Amino acid sequence: MTDNLSAEAPGLAEIEELARRALAGLPPEVQRACEGLGIHVADFADEETLREMAIEDPFELTGLYDGTPLTERSVFDQSTRPDAVWLFRRPILEEWIERGDVALDHLVAHVLVHELAHHLGWSDDDIRSVDDWTE
């Protein structure tokens, strides 16, 4: 019998691996549109980001897209840094624990798809076509 109380929470690398697997499971056209997009995991968003978004509780932010959506780009745009999706481990784990009704890999995939949607300029219907969270 294993002692669940001694189990360690998934670390940054494990959450990143879950996100990369989720991306690999998306339709090929979505994967192609996300080529070059960075996927990063941190425990929490930094203070400057939270302040800019007027978020007082860092547990309220599970993910963030940092970049210019594909639908808003021009051939004249000069990117100063690569677009990226950020996933925040501690808020994701907190939501996972509080919900208790969803597998961690599904929650990570859901947060990732939501942030990818910002990159792709997707509507709610577009999101539901690859991640129907209402099921």
Residue 30 has pLDDT above 70, yes or no: yes
The pLDDT tens digits of the residues spanning 63-100 come to: 999 987 777 766 666 666 789 999 999 999 999 999 99
> How far is residue 97's CA from residue 135's CA, in Å, rounded to a whole number?
19
- pTM of the predicted structure, to 2 decimals: 0.84
One-letter amino acid of 4:
N
- Domains defined along the chain, listed by start: 10-67+82-130 (3.30.2010.20)
> How far is residue 110's CA from residue 36's CA, in Å, rounded to a whole number?
20
One-letter amino acid of 117:
A
Which residue(s) pair with 40 in the sheet? 86
Higher pLDDT, 110 or 122: 110
Dihedral angle computed from the Cα positions of residues 35, 36, 37 and 38, in that order, rounded to the nearest 10 degrees? 130
Local confidence band at 110 (pLDDT 50, 70, 90 cut-offs):
very high
